Structure 1
Amino acid sequence: MCLVTFIPEKKKILQAIEDLDCHDCVGNFLEDDRVKRCELICDLREIDKKLDSLMCQKARVNWLKNGDSCTKFYHSTLRWRRLRNEVKGVEVGGQWCEEPYTVRLEANKLFEKRFKATRDYGVRLDGVEFTSLSVEENMSLIAVFSEEEIRNAVWQCEGTKSPGSHGFNFNFLKNCWEIIKDDIVAVVTLF
């Protein structure tokens, strides 16, 4: 894709959005127009994403070609990105303000408000009954494994699979069970 193919398409979409906004100002704005405007904005976002991707690819190609040097292209790309991401001003009490101190103060207030931790998480569990384990079930969970349970667990596993990076598969454990069973039982019991 080329940059030239996206720009006329973007201009057409912007013109269509502007025409719909004019209809809205006059009062001839229908629900279909509102839906169409939303679709146009989505299309505009897609084109912007494609343009950003294309610019990043071009920057990457240029960087690969020219190396890591402080070139005019590098600095112009940084300047373009900085200008694009810059917050020019904020609306405070219905008034547009571009004073840097006020912009910083409002941004700080916004993030404090949005990310402020509260004690109330909005979850209420009053009246919710949770099922609990019986004493026998609880004792079975904390009981020590018997040698027979461990042996049955090993024999239920597929023999060619290795449970870890040590390389011993379950066929090895099954064939050498009589020799290593005490060690395996000890390890499982410690766990």
Structure 2
Amino acid sequence: MVKDKWNSYPAQGSGFFRFKEKLKFLKGDLKVWNRDVFGNIHTSKKRILQEIEDLDYQACNDVLWESDRLKRIELVSRMREAEKILDSLICQKARASWFKNGDSCTKFYHSSLRWRRLGNEVKGVEVGGQWCEEPSIVHVEGNKLFENRFKSTKDFGVRLDAIEFKALSSEDSLGLIAGFSEEEIRDAVWNCEGTKSPSPDGFNFNFIK
């Protein structure tokens, strides 16, 4: 399905632009395909759970037939698969939401920001053995501190004579500006963890692989 849809999309513009546009079209078609083939996963989970409860109720009041016992095993397996799909879906939605909204609207974010500001705040300085919180004096003393610490000197006390620094060979230097081969790109993608998503478009490395 993915291959047929991918080849049917129009291909105009640069390679990267075509790739981005095809992913956008494919995302919409995958939603339709998922709805037609798998239906609503939440509804399916509730239906499977209800069938399991019916069989359990039957087992409490009567003896299950062998066919019913095998059916319950199959339903439990389908239930676990549905929960696995739901977990993956929630993870993807949470990642996309974080990429889009970040932590700007959460109570935890504002609490962390407030405590960091309090920890970094300079309330006062000690001048001549006396604690002072006057803003103008704190400002002057702060400038003096950084001026004394970072002022330049004529002699840094560091000598680099006769020290051999490691350098790249000519072959390695050319390798830094060499083009990427298809094999190198494939190895880089296949070495990435499958559930990671480079962008909030919903396509993780498992899909790309």
Question: What TM-score, normalized to structure 2?
Answer: 0.32
Question: What TM-score, normalized to structure 1?
Answer: 0.34
Greater Rg over alpha carbons, structure: 1
